[in-house]
Amino acid sequence: MGAGRKWTFRQILFFGGLALWFLSTLVQTRMGAVVSLWTALLFAALLLLAALPTRTLALAELIQPFCLGGTMIGVVVLIAWGFDLVLGTKATAMRAMGIPLVEETVKIAPALWVLYRLGERRWTLGATDVLLLAAAGGLGFYWVEEAFVIRNQGGWSFLGSFPTTDITGGGHSFIAGHAIWASISGLGIGVALLLRGSKLQMLLIGVSGFLWSALDHGANNYIVAFRDSLSSVFAAISGEGYVSLYIFLVGAGLAVILDLYCIYPGLLKLREARLPPFPSSWEDTKQAWRYLRLRRQFAYAVARYKREDGIDKARAAVVASSVDAALHNWHLRNAETETIAA
């Protein structure tokens, strides 16, 4: 029997604050918190299932962007208050388009912050990893806002058939929702980081998802507030809101395909990335899963090394060597364990 896990003061403080946040939202919104959390978990489960063969991030690494996404509600409230001071509370085109732009910015901010904090480990991520980071921030934002919307509406009959989406009356009947909009923003960034290319090319691909999400979100708010020729144009461009759902589904599938193409042909040729033995216990299963994620990190780093030039090529080589050493250590530990067991 090994010693139990020792929790640090920082971890206790973090998870204590997380529990308090959940409890506070539950007390204030009651079933709203439960229903919105359930739909958020369904959305997360679908994404995690799709990314199963390609992701390198651990589930614990998605908690931080989720929490940051939830706290961004407060930032939006403060900015909306500023809008009220300047423009008044009456619905205006500036408000209808401006608030969505703010919300899409603050929702993608947690993913960008995590990517910045990861440093050179960004070289070991796939497009699906960035998608998951962005989706986590969007889900945190969605959970808090939707919980209060459900409470204020007195029910959840407006929820769409796809998790985290809504259905409303009027011209723009389908609302993709915060999780899908944030995911689309993440898709652009993830594909740009994976494919690389010139700075201009990466910038255009990276911001494309964000710009579409801000446009569709703004179109939704504009159509709700106004009925004019511009709202008809927005409805046509957004396909009554459904285009975002299609972009998300196709984009997520494309990200998985790109990641698979990027890592697995190379893995088949790398001796140090050979598959682990079939696990015989739950502990072995967890160890094997950690190894498979490490194996993918190595493959992403090698793929980037092949695409880069100059100093970036050298940096990718350093990262790949570091992960390669970790793979060798895993095989050595596994061989020692098998020897002791024998």
Q: Whose structure tokens read 């899908």?
A: 180
- Please compute the mean of the pLDDT values over residues 200-206 and round it to a whole number: 92
User: What is the C-alpha to C-alpha distance for residues 219 and 254, in angstroms, rounded to an integer?
Assistant: 26
Q: Is 269's pLDDT higher than 80?
A: no
The percent of residues above 70 in pLDDT, for the chain, comes to: 83
- Spacing of C-alpha 112 from chain mean position: 10
Q: Are 294 and 270 in contact (CB under 8 A)?
A: no
Lowest mean pLDDT among 27-41, 88-102, 211-225, 311-325: 311-325
Taking the C-alpha atoms of residue 79 and residue 73, their distance in angstroms, rounded to an integer, is: 10
Q: Give the CA distances from residue 308 to residues 121, 123, 256, 267, 303, in Å, rounded to whole numbers and listed in that order.
A: 16, 11, 22, 19, 9
CB within 8 Å of 131: residues ≥ 6 apart: 47, 51, 183, 186, 187, 190, 252, 255
Q: pLDDT (tens digit, 9 = 90+) per residue, 118-149? A: 888 888 899 999 999 999 999 999 999 999 99
Tens of pLDDT, residue by residue over 219-264, are: 998 988 888 889 889 989 999 889 999 999 999 999 999 999 888 7
In whole angstroms, what is the distance from residue 342 CA to residue 331 CA? 16
Residue 1 confidence (pLDDT): 41
Closest CA to 22 of 149, 166, 180, 147: 147
Of the listed ranges 26-35, 43-52, 112-121, 164-173, the one predicted with least confidence: 164-173
Task: Read off the pLDDT of residues 4-25 as tens digits, 9 standing for 90 and up.
Answer: 567 787 778 777 878 888 888 8
How many H-runs (helices) and E-runs (strands) does the chain carry?
11, 2
Q: Which pLDDT band, with edges at 50, 70 and 90, does 77 fall under?
A: confident
- Whether the pLDDT of residue 112 is over 70: the answer is yes
Which backbone phi and psi does 269 adopt, to 5 degrees? -100, -5
Q: Is the pLDDT of residue 342 over 70?
A: no
Whether residue 214 is predicted with pLDDT greater than 90 in this model: the reply is yes
Structural domain boundaries of the chain? 9-266, 271-341
74 or 130: which leads in pLDDT:
130
